[in-house]
Amino acid sequence: MKTNDRCRVAVVGVSGYAGEELVRLLLAHPDAELTAVTSRQNLGKKLSQVFPRFARVATADTISFSDLDSANIARHTDIVFLALPHGVSAEFAKPLLDRGARVIDLSADFRLRSADLYR
C-alpha cells in the first residue's frame, strides 16, 4: 500500500486555487508522495510547466497531468483528493469509491444535504 512509508496521493482537478495549494502542501510533506494530478486543461503538461513556482521541487518536473482513469488512480494511490467544483465531485467520487479508493472531497458535494445551501 505505501512505498517507503510514504502515502501515495493523487489530486483530481488541479486547475483551481484549492488544487494548486493542496499540491504545494503535498510536495512539501515528508510523508506524502504525489503520484498523480489531473486537469482537463493541462493534460500532458508537466506540473512545473503549469505552475512555475514548483520548478525548484525535483518531483514537480517528473509529474505530468493525466486524464482521470479511476481504475488506474485507485490502483496506484492510497488517498485521492478531489479538488473539483461544487456539483461535479460526486460523479467522480463514485467510481473511485467503487474501486476501493479513499477519497477526500474538498467541495460541498458530500458536506451539504442540498446544493442550494451553497448557492
What whole-number distance in Å separates Cα of residue 103 and Cα of residue 94?
Answer: 9
Instruction: Kindly list the domain boundaries of the chain, sorted by start residue.
Output: 1-39
The secondary structure of residue 84, as a DSSP letter, is P
Q: Residue 1 burial by CB count (10 A; 0-12/13-18/19+): exposed, middle or buried?
A: exposed
Element counts in the chain: helices (H) and strands (E)? 4, 5
What are the pLDDT tens digits along the chain (119 aa)? 455 689 999 999 998 889 999 999 999 999 999 999 999 899 999 999 999 999 999 888 899 999 888 899 999 999 999 998 877 887 888 899 999 999 999 886 666 566 565 55
